[in-house]
Amino acid sequence: MIPALRRQFNDSFTLDRYDEFVAALERRSGSSIHFRVSETPCFFPRELMDRLAATGAALVRQLTESAEYRRASDASIPPEFHAPGEGDHPLWVQVDFGLVQGDDGRIEPKLVELQAFASLYGFQRLFADSYRSHWNLPSSLGVFLGGLDDGAYDRLLARALLNGHDPEQVVLMEIDPDRQKTRPDFIESERRWGVRAVDIRALVQQGRVLLYPRDGRLVPIRRIYNRTIVDELQRRGERAPFDWRADLDVEWAGHPNWYFRISKFSLPWLAHPSVPRTWFLDRVPEMPADRENFVLKPLYSFAGAGVTFAPTDDDLAAIPRERRHDYVLQERVRFTPLIDTPHGPTQVEARIMYVWLDELTPVLPLLRMGRGTMMGVDHNKNMQWVGASAALIA
């Protein structure tokens, strides 16, 4: 994207140095990394990243400022997971864009999906900085959005995570956190902000209070950094040791209702040049003839689970009519291969990560590189110069 930096990086690359980079990243993060780390960061002009951030914010506000959407999205929350006290807006928002080059050469964002759920707020900053330092890249290359620097980012995240509470009484709640691929992020969250990852199954309820075991004692929880994906809880046949609907004496750092409200459920409601045509499957006016240009997606899934490209009649028939409201049919976003690598031009998906306290603030980009049909690291196996990456901004 920035030709001089791209050429300089490619010319200086060696496989040994990449292996050293991954090893150094694991040492710095304090954990093995169980997803593919791309050989390269991506170099983006500030103007492009600011434009993506502004587009994502406009899409989110279309939803949160619409009373009609708020009422309609009530139906997206399963009754057993409808928790009280969600507030007027989410705390965390992620907006994923594919980058597409128009006929005039201008790079435009095309929405892939958006999600009001936490992302890698600890690890991604460390990841970007590690690229910059290991490869001796210019210190002038930025990693933050929204006018932030290291100090401002730490203070903003401390407010969002802790809200003034003792870090010992704030937990990162996940299912089996030591076995999640996101464990490096959990370690960094505790290291920087003191928020320890706790298995949801270890929580104890006493009246309206939740507690967790720590150093041989039960500690009251005042605030939960929610990283639990309820779909995973259901797939495992597990239940939380508390009722999500209960009036608990606890704050949510990432209220669980917003995971459902701002999700693939939102896509058919959005009207913006960056948004591909999308319908709920049970409301498709007429099945398109050019199915190769469409994707069938379940509303609630992570890492591309259940996504079907070019759905056939058999694919559609396999979904019972009473479940079709849980799927969307979306016009396929065909990314333009923009990153020049030794293995050929590579596509990139850019996630803009936001924190919404006083205002909706873009804070970091997170990147996935790939040449497969999907951008997730699980869909680009046995390839090089693909996988998780970071943006360095000039």
Note the pTM of the prediction, 2 decimals.
0.94
Per-residue pLDDT of 311-322, as tens digits, reads 999 999 999 999
pLDDT at 46 over 80: yes
pLDDT at 195 over 90: yes
- What CATH architecture is 149-253? 3-Layer(aba) Sandwich (3.40)
Q: Which two tokens stand for residue 45?
A: 């002009």
What's residue 3's pLDDT?
93
What's residue 381's pLDDT?
66
Q: Where in the chain is the domain with CATH 3.30.1490?
A: 277-331
Confidence bin at 231 (pLDDT 50/70/90): confident
Q: Which of 284, 253, 280 is nearest to 266 (CA)?
A: 280
155 CB contacts (<8 Å, ≥6 apart)? Answer: none
What's residue 306's pLDDT?
83
What's residue 375's pLDDT?
67
Per residue in 144-171, is it b (16+ CB within 10 Å) or e — as a string?
bbbebeeeebeebbbebbbeeeeebbbb
Topology, domain 277-331: Dna Ligase; domain 1 (3.30.1490)
Q: Where in the chain is the domain with CATH 3.40.50?
A: 149-253
